[in-house]
Amino acid sequence: MTAKLKANIIVNKRKATVKIGGIASNEGYYINYKVKLNGEPKIGDAFINKVKLTADNTVDKTTEVETRYVKANGKADGQNFTIKVKKVDANGQPLSNAEFQVIRNRTKEVVGTITTDANGMGELSHLLKDEYTLKESKAPDGYKKRDEKFKISPSDFGTEQTVLRTIVNQKVGNKKIKISKLNPNGKMISGAKLHVYKGEGTQGEVVASWTSELGKTHELSLDPGIYTFHEETAPNGYKAVSDIVFEVTTAGQVNILKAKNNTATVKNDRLNITDQFDEARTNISVVKHWDDKDNQAGKRPNHITVNLLADGKKIESQTIKPNENGKWRAEFTNKPKYKNGKEIHYTITEEVVASYRAEISGDAASGFVLQNLYDPSQPPAPKQKILPRTGTTVMGALIVVGLVVLNRSIYLAKRKNR
């Protein structure tokens, strides 16, 4: 049978095709062949055979069979080897979040990934005893990635079937960045208490704290990595921003990762953080007291007028009358507390009350107290000027002046005749 099919066997490197030809339904063939490996197999190596049968008037059928190489006694377990990695810095301190690809040299395939934990340790198990290469695919934050490849040979596994590689990473140099605290008009403001934390959130290490100064940008030296900007207290007249997460790259660039309401921007590697104006409102109360022995002189008016001034400019007036309990009170409501980030200075004045002297105490925050003391020496309240009626009054005045002039002329004439 071999001689019969020999001419129908076509071999092309890793593929062989056998043309069987016609075959009865009760006949079959057993095909036995040998292959030559490229190298010496290792315990546990898998060899996969794939056979495809094609025939007339039937569906193609494909079968795949896997065979593993074992020792003569057949008891060896070839998938019990482990590669361990310990990642440390130049001082031997463990580094987390380093990632390594494990490449099997024989197949040039990545068979797994090792990621180091908080203790700097990571491992990959269930490996064959073979040659491998470790390649660092990601370095810990703030550290340089190792470009070289770390070779592992079968003899490195030892009797415990484990190999440990300790790999040191050098720290990336600090990068200088600038942070400016601005108001909505783009001007640098003072008085903001600020902190920068390592990592995302405020649970990490505080790497910088300062208070913003008028017209000054704050400069920091930060390792590449992720940081959180936190404003503990905003200056008076401003609202504190929500926490801002940003990244410093190994090239010294600053990237904003999380921020609300466009409060943070980056320009020329300077992080600009804007506080919005505080729109707080306030109510200002006025209490009126009379010191006149219960209006003994009968000069107390039935109402007074109080003016409210914002930064020295009158903005509102109110008339105060006694209420049902005889109390004299007023309130200026819903007034802005700040203007362009600066607190507004509110004061009050009183329109002149005849025969009374006014004393004002208190402030906008606690309320004003207006005390009127009876003082007969005080001038009366100014009255509105009343213009004379057009025509009659003016003519009368002219007649009087004319008579005075005429009389004086007659008098002078009489003296001259004498």
For the stretch 57-109, pLDDT in tens is 565 677 776 665 655 454 445 568 999 999 999 899 999 999 999 999 999 99
Where is average pLDDT lowest: 42-51, 294-303, 316-325, 409-418?
409-418
Q: CATH 2.60.40.1140 spans which residues of the chain?
A: 279-372
Q: Which is higher by pLDDT, 395 or 158?
A: 158
Contact in structure between 364 and 284 (CB atoms under 8 Å): yes
pLDDT of residue 103: 97
For the stretch 236-281, pLDDT in tens is 999 999 999 999 987 778 999 999 877 899 988 789 999 999 999 9
Q: CB within 8 A of 200, min separation 6: which ones?
A: 226, 228, 245, 257, 258
From the list 187, 188, 254, 201, the residue with the least C-alpha distance to 229 is 201
Whether pLDDT at 135 is above 80: yes
Q: Which is higher by pLDDT, 140 or 397?
A: 140
pLDDT of residue 13: 66
- Give me the residue label for tokens 């017209």: 215
pLDDT of residue 390: 46
pLDDT of residue 410: 47
- Give me the residue label for tokens 């009350």: 353
Beta strands (DSSP E) in 130-200 are 132-138, 150-152, 162-168, 175-182, 193-198
pLDDT of residue 194: 97
Q: CATH 2.60.40.10 spans which residues of the chain?
A: 79-166, 173-275
For the stretch 282-293, pLDDT in tens is 999 999 999 999
Whether pLDDT at 44 is above 60: no
pTM greater than 0.85 (yes/no): no
Q: Which is higher by pLDDT, 31 or 404?
A: 31
- Give me the residue label for tokens 């484990």: 162
pLDDT of residue 69: 63
Q: How confident is the model at residue 401 (pLDDT cuts 50, 70, 90)?
A: very low
Kindly state the tokens that stand for 417.
């005749």
Contact in structure between 191 and 212 (CB atoms under 8 Å): yes
- Cα angle value 255/259/265 (rounded, 5°): 50
Question: How close are the terminal C-alpha atoms of the chain, in Å?
Answer: 184
pLDDT of residue 45: 65
Give mean pLDDT, residues 3-23.
69
Q: How confident is the model at residue 320 (pLDDT cuts 50, 70, 90)?
A: very high
Helix (H) or strand (E) holding 413: helix 392-417
CA distances from 188 to 219, 279, 355, 381 (A): 14, 19, 52, 50
Q: Which is higher by pLDDT, 160 or 82?
A: 82
For the stretch 337-390, pLDDT in tens is 999 888 999 999 999 999 999 999 999 999 999 999 999 887 766 655 544 544
- Give me the residue label for tokens 């008085």: 191
Contact in structure between 169 and 99 (CB atoms under 8 Å): no
CATH code given to domain 79-166? 2.60.40.10
For the stretch 187-245, pLDDT in tens is 999 999 999 999 999 999 999 999 999 999 999 989 888 999 999 999 999 999 999 99
Q: How confident is the model at residue 25 (pLDDT cuts 50, 70, 90)?
A: low
Q: How confident is the model at residue 132 (pLDDT cuts 50, 70, 90)?
A: very high
Q: CB within 8 A of 43, min separation 6: which ones?
A: 69, 70, 71, 76, 78, 128, 129
Q: How confident is the model at residue 52 (pLDDT cuts 50, 70, 90)?
A: confident
Kindly state the tokens that stand for 229.
């900007």
Yes or no: domain 173-275 corresponds to CATH 2.60.40.10? yes
What's the rounded Cα separation, in Å, for the pair 304 and 302?
7
Mean pLDDT of the residues in the chain: 84
Overall fold of domain 279-372: Immunoglobulin-like (2.60.40)
